Amino acid sequence: MSNRSEVREFLVSRRGKVTPEQVGLVPLGGARRVPGLRRGEVAELAGVSVEYYTQLERGSLRGASEGVLDAIARALLLDEAERTHLFDLARAANAATAVRRRPSAAAQRVRPAIQQILDSQLSPAWVRNGRGDIVATNRLGRALNSPLFDDPARPVNHARFRFLNPRAAEYYRDWDEVARTVVSVLRAEAGRSPYDKGLTDLIGELSTRSEEFRTRWAAHDVRLHRNGIKRLHHPVVGDLDLSYEGLDLPSDPGLTLYIYTAEPGSPSQQALDLLASWAVTLEEQERREQDEHRQEQP
């Protein structure tokens, strides 16, 4: 993932989404070959020269000040996630001029204290890294995500499951919304961690094997994934409507704790209660099988 191409395609795609009327401009004369603003209009709104904005849009954010980036974000009507992505791309461009340190891989384990927090939750809870791997979970979280854990591919990953596993079509009731969220979160992570080989490999795998992913990836949409509603169909307990909150772990950069809850007394809460009982039964069965396997060993 070249930083210059990422910058270029992101800025062009955002410019194409904004009309002169949206930003209070009288359209410049002449027929428009493509929708959206022209470069000159963005430059005028941002208070920079056309030549300088052209340089930025060609992929060179190196040295761009925060003031200029803010002005570009306002001109293009960027939302919070898009503005953050623009600044992430600029940081990556500036880092590329220095000696690159080998990037650390996305975390695949949590500290014991975090696991204790997970286990203390009465609701489904898990920790994921920036590319969507589930790196730790509590019992109910694993039960809720059992279709993902049943997939032999490791690490357990939301994006890989959504785009490559046929069971995902039944599991996710908000099929399109999940796809939009997964891709836009990965795109934002690519801006933050452009040298993460695991992320690059995942995106390459999905692009190779899923036409739907390739199409959505090309849109360059980004999104924050902090809270919302998840509508699932679990193979054991049926439909679930769950609210979720994502909490970044400041002492563990790149990791986010997610907790899912149901409305008290609702059918979804009853389904979660049933799922909790099933999870205990499943765990006991797995423990017995492990004990039997150990006894059979010479």
- Domain containing residue 288: 112-292
Residue for token pair 């795109």: 187
Token pair in block for residue 28: 């410049």
213 domain-assigned: yes
102 domain-assigned: no
Cβ count within 10 A of residue 149:
15
**Lowest model confidence (mean pLDDT) among 93-102, 120-129, 142-151, 238-247:** 93-102
Same domain assignment for residues 162 and 91: no
pLDDT tens-place string over residues 268-281: 999 999 999 999 98
Same domain assignment for residues 69 and 182: no
Q: Per-residue pLDDT for 225 more than 60?
A: yes
Same domain assignment for residues 265 and 210: yes
Give the domain CATH number at 167.
3.30.450.180
More confidently predicted of 247 and 195: 247
Residue for token pair 């960027």: 78
274 domain-assigned: yes
More confidently predicted of 244 and 286: 244
101 domain-assigned: no
Token pair in block for residue 292: 């039997």
How many residues in total does the chain contain? 298
Angle at which helix 66-75 crosses helix 39-46, to 10 degrees, equals: 120
Supply the pLDDT for residue 37.
92
pLDDT tens-place string over residues 85-107: 999 999 988 885 444 444 445 66
Q: Per-residue pLDDT for 80 more than 80?
A: yes
d(C-alpha 278, C-alpha 18), whole Å? 50
Give the domain CATH number at 26.
1.10.260.40
Q: How many domains does the chain have?
A: 2
DSSP codes of every residue in 280-296? HHHHHHHHHHHHHHHHH
In 3D, which of 143, 133, 126, 131 has the Cα closest to residue 108?
A: 133
Long-range contacts of 161-168 (CB under 8 A, 24+ apart): 163/206, 163/209, 163/210, 163/212, 163/213, 164/206, 164/209, 164/210
261 domain-assigned: yes
Supply the pLDDT for residue 289.
67
pLDDT > 90: what percent of the chain? 75
- Taking residues 174-184, what's their average pLDDT? 96
Q: State pTM to two decimals.
A: 0.86
51 domain-assigned: yes
Supply the pLDDT for residue 33.
73
